Structure 1
Amino acid sequence: MSNLWDLSGIQPQTKVVLEGDTIPALFWNGVKARGPNVWMRQKEFGIWRSWSWNQTGDAVREIAHGLLAIGFEARETASILSNTTIEWVLCDLAVLSAGGVSNGIYPTDAAEQVQYLCADSGTTVLFVENDEQLDKALEVRDHLPQLRKIIVEDMEGLRELNDPQVISLDQLRELGRAHLLQHPGMLEARVAACQPDELAILVYTSGTTGRPKGAMHSHKGLVYTVRGYNTLIARDQNDECMCFLPLCHIAERMGGEYFSLYTGAKLNFVENPETVPENVREIAPTVFTAVPRVWEKFYSGVMITLKEAGKIQQAAYGWAIGVGQQVADLVMAGQPVPGGLRLQFHVARTLVLNNVRKLIGIHRARFLVTGAAPISPELVRWYLALGVPMLEVWGMTETCGASTGIPAQRMKPGSIGPAASYNEVKLDPVTGEILVRGPNVFMGYLNLPEKTAETIDGEGWLHTGDVGVVDEEGFFRITDRMKDIIIT
């Protein structure tokens, strides 16, 4: 199998890549170690702009000192109401460096929801992306007595705005530069005072049953989990990743921002959700994490292109994908691939399948990661047939993201894989509910001790609400939701 796919880059990495026991400590150690290297890229006016670790550090330092200048205290909460941009990351790391708690709000949330999330989290500073998001904040600010400042990233259309509570991100950075000159060691002191057991971030659950709940994650839990991720879906400084899922969701916050912060993998930010297919082809990521809907869209795009192709191209694709599927079936069954079929697969990849991968933008991908919702085993099989391993992970906000994962050496579509090495997973012997225990499990729900007690039992097991089965190899499969079983 190793001759068919290069699995050397998917080996678990157990050594510590970056020292530090809080997210700000990790970040500033990263700046020190990687200085001039590129960390992030974002497309602006049609041109990709690179951010080195040093440039990122300078921006984070200015924003953090700006927060200190406006009286932001350690353990206060700042919220970010924005799409997935580099500025989101800069503000997040600045809040954490200043000893604060960082909370993300979906840019699609209505003003009423923004009010609830800011009130529940005790937000004192709110970062908003643009005039559209600012309007929501202004609509509800009279109901938020704790909110002191609103900071706007993009001031387009707001040049005439004169509001003492609202300043631009550029103005905050100016305040930060002045504050840095007057108090040169203050930020370092805040970073040093930040304790691993302290609350770092809030991630609000979707609130499908009642109000959203603020899941609390400590610095210790976040650092422990990103180190654990390297044993599951390893990356390094040579990797190119895409950042496009919402950063207020645990998947992109952990698997995108913090995991790349730890490993040094480059983060490329798409222009907007509509340009994802075009940006994938430009970036050609080496590791690509997405939700099933994205993988389905790519597949549909290839099928549409194929319908418009000539008869010879259609026949070539049919033969090549057929060879790929034969190989995929043997690999999934854990059986050896005969030499003749290996040779056919090599020809199929060279003549046809590599072009299909280029059409999607995954021709450089060492592996793909899918999660956040169930995916069709047939779709996984199709990507395997193209010659790219697709690894399914499962987890939730409360487990700090991925808690189980399919190993590249033993792919079983339809399964969510065995427990990740950094946590325990088992089934409740009576109900079959999937239970998780480990340092990656969250601290509890903000302001909801009774909900926390319902979710984490006396032995530290998190009750996930998912019902499953486990096979003799330790691979779990989700079969139902506890709520559905209770209803029926």
Structure 2
Amino acid sequence: MSNLWDLDHIQPAGTDVLAGSTISAMFWNAVALRGPAVWMRQKELGIWKSWTWDQTAEAVREIAGGLMALGFARGDCASILSNTNIEWVLADLAVLSCGGVSNGIYPTDAAAQVHYLSEDSATTVLFVENDEQLDKALEVRAGLPLLRRIIVFDMEGLRGLQDPGVISLQALRDLGRAWNQQNPDALMRRVQACQPEDVAILVYTSGTTGKPKGAMHTHAALAYTVRGYNTLISRTDQDEAMCFLPLCHIAERMGGEYFSLYTGSRLNFVENPDTVPENVREIAPTVFTAVPRVWEKFYSGVMIALKESTALQQAAYAWSIGVGTRIADLVLAGQPVGGLLKAQFQLARWLALNNVRKLIGIHRARFLVTGAAPISPELVKWYLALGVPMLEVWGMTETCGAATGVPASRIKPGSIGPAAAYNEVRIDPATGEILVRGPNVFKGYLNLPEKTAETIDADGWLHTGDVGTIDADGYLRITDRMKDIIITAGGKNITPSELENELKFSPYVTDAVVIGDKLPYLTVIIMIDQENVEKFAQDNDVPFSNYASLTRAREVQDLIQAEIDRVNTQFARVEQIKKFFLLDTQLTAEDEELTPTMKLKRKLVQQKYAAQIEAMYR
């Protein structure tokens, strides 16, 4: 178990553990190096099934052979429409091994979006997870003349399907096995022919306006960046990692699949999004990367469990977290921790903190990583008080993921750390915009040269759209998205994310969108945490019949008002929230108001709830 006051054990290794200038070469070199060792695990029917590197290679070889038998050529694009699972990784690596371009499509996308992304990427082969995703593909197939074949991972409910354009993944593997026997050297010739500057993956990023843009990443950028990750976050082949965020997203593709491929750390796939807490407790990862919403949810769960515990347990937790917080304060200030406080912390672990870590599933974690959205500094400090450092990283689709990262040796909550060793970061003196330059910067947007030129200037600097500052230690602090900064009717510039992060620290708030641009005061739209607010209602005999009635209950309104009052005390009067509105619909990843990483889409929320916003200013 890690020592809070001694963080040297998680310093980056900085060593190149695997050769390869392309992702495909890196994978096959990993197979040769690690063969019988377990790489991936996935829970199926209640049992964790392991995949060794050799087993993975066999499957990838057969899928790649099947693709080549179908005429899949170098440079062709294959799209993957599936939830995060091992089959996603197998398909991705097979496509890259063939010299193709791999593109992910979110399983929550509607048929019209599947059509646009497949058409824009010139998809010739479409992998789909199951019958639900197949229905979308079949609905739009007629409008995709380049699409030659649809391949289904899970054929449950489709055994009687008779369609020459659709085959199962197993049938593709059977085809590939036979083709490889006739062409034993073909796949390795494809791998060797792949060049570092070839486009490897497309990652579609949606802006606030217009259609999604396909960011092109080369093998060189991916391989270079994934090596650089080890200078940010040290990981080895002894580590256990989780994989549950969408592999369509650059964060999980790079920080999950490719970083695990490079370091040899074991990758554990959850059963489904609802089983994440249970699966995390079962695996007890040694390194754990997630988005702020996951860390907020874990914290909320602990707070609710604490309310149900005995008075003695509550007292033990209060004393223990107090000790941990005192140590966290010293660590964050760069000051030494005395012997007496160390001894108290050992007792605090025994009394309560070890149990809290086990409840979450982070009792073996050397460190936690958070990114993809801002996180409350208080939440970072809370995990540090438990004895687990939380490292913030920042980046975007166009930077191959992380461009900055907080080192374990000097954590600054609210900061996203200095620039990674593999890129430069600076602030535009005229606008305050954060600029990034380096080999990790994307090649450009597919079919959009004008948009590419707007994003990458003549000197190679990527204009991120984020506003920030860099302190004397070189640490970057994000102010907000340029387009999100609020200028009130009185001319006051306000950063909404600071207020929103403090609100989300509440166990009763899942997300929040602060409103107030060109308006006389600030208001907020809040999505409540259904589980925790329902528990509050049950404990306090608050009647409700459904989610909507829960949000309208006077006691719930008072509960959220109290949370807003708590946050308001931390801000100047002009920055305080005057009114709020609770969303009366429980949103999920399938709803258009949420991003795949479970953030509310600010502009869409403001448009959809314009009437409710207007009512708050009457």
Q: Who is 1:450 aligned against?
A: 450
- Give the corresponding residue for 1:219: 219
Structure 2 portions without partners, runs of 5+: 488-516, 518-618
Matched, 1:333 2:333: yes
Task: Indicate the residue corresponding to 1:376 in structure 2.
Answer: 376
Greater Rg, structure 1 or structure 2? Answer: 2
Distance (whole Å) between structure 1 residues aligned to residue 240 and residue 111 of structure 2: 36
For residue 210 of structure 2, what is the aligned residue in structure 1? 210
Question: What pairs with 1:75-114 in structure 2 (closer than 5 Å)?
Answer: 75-114=75-114
CA distance in 2: counterparts of 1:47 and 1:443, whole angstroms: 42
- Deviation, 1:8, is 3.6
Tell me the residue number matched to 1:322: 322
Mapping 1:111-130, distance limit 5 Å: 111-130=111-130
Identity percentage of aligned residues: 77
Normalising by structure 1, we get a TM-score of 0.98
Shift of 1:349: 1.2
Number of the residue aligned with 1:199: 199
Question: What count of residue pairs does the alignment treat as equivalent?
Answer: 487
Task: Give yes or no for contact 1:4–1:342 (8 Å, CA) kept in 2.
Answer: no
Amino acid at match of 1:244: F
- After TM superposition, list the pairs within 5 Å mapping 1:342-381 onto structure 2: 342-381=342-381
Task: Say if 1:101 and 1:200, in contact at 8 Å, map to a contact too.
Answer: yes
Instruction: Give 1:334 deviation, angstroms.
Output: 1.1
**Matching of residues 47-446 of structure 1 within 5 Å:** 47-446=47-446
Deviations 1:381-402 (A, max 9, x none): 1100000000000000000000
**Contact 2:254/2:400, CA 8 A, preserved across alignment:** yes
SS at match of 2:26: helix
- More displaced stretch, 469-478 vs 435-444: 469-478
Q: Which amino acid aligns with 2:294?
A: V
Secondary structure at the aligned position of 2:288 is classed as strand
Quickly say closer, same or farther: Cα 1:5–1:66, change in 2 above 3 A: farther
Matched to 1:228, the amino acid is: G
After superposition, the CA RMSD in angstroms is: 1.1
Answer whether contact 1:83 1:129 (CA < 8 A) is retained: yes
**Separation in 1 of the partners of 2:22 and 2:7?**
31
Distance 1:100 1:369 in 2: 31
Contact 1:17–1:262 (Cα < 8 Å) also in 2: yes
TM-score (structure 2 length as normaliser)? 0.78
C-alpha displacement of 1:32: 0.4
Shift of 1:51: 0.2
Which moved further from structure 2: 350-359 or 285-294? Answer: 350-359
> Secondary structure in 2 aligned to 1:231?
helix
Q: Is the 8 A contact 2:5 2:331 kept in 1?
A: no
Give distance in 1, aligned partners of 2:341 and 2:170: 60
Measure the CA separation in 2 of the matches of 1:285 and 1:15: 22
Matched, 1:482 2:479: no
Q: In structure 2, the residue corresponding to 1:230 is in which secondary structure?
A: helix
Question: Which residue identity is paired with 2:83?
Answer: N
CA contact (8 A) 1:5 1:389 kept: no
Shift of 1:480: 2.4
* 2: CA distance, partners of 1:3 / 1:122: 51
Judge which range, 460-469 or 13-22, deviates more.
13-22
Note the alpha carbon deviations across 1:176-234, whole angstroms, 9 max, x for none: 01101111100010000000000000000033321110000000000000000000011
TM-aligned CA deviation for residue 73 of structure 1:
0.5
8 Å contact from structure 1 (residues 377, 414) kept in 2: yes
* CA-to-aligned-CA distance 1:347-397 (integer Å, 9 cap, x gap): 101221011000000000000000000000011111000000000000000
Larger mean Cα displacement after TM superposition, 420-429 or 207-216: 207-216
Q: Which has the higher contact order (CA 8 A, sep 6+)?
A: 1
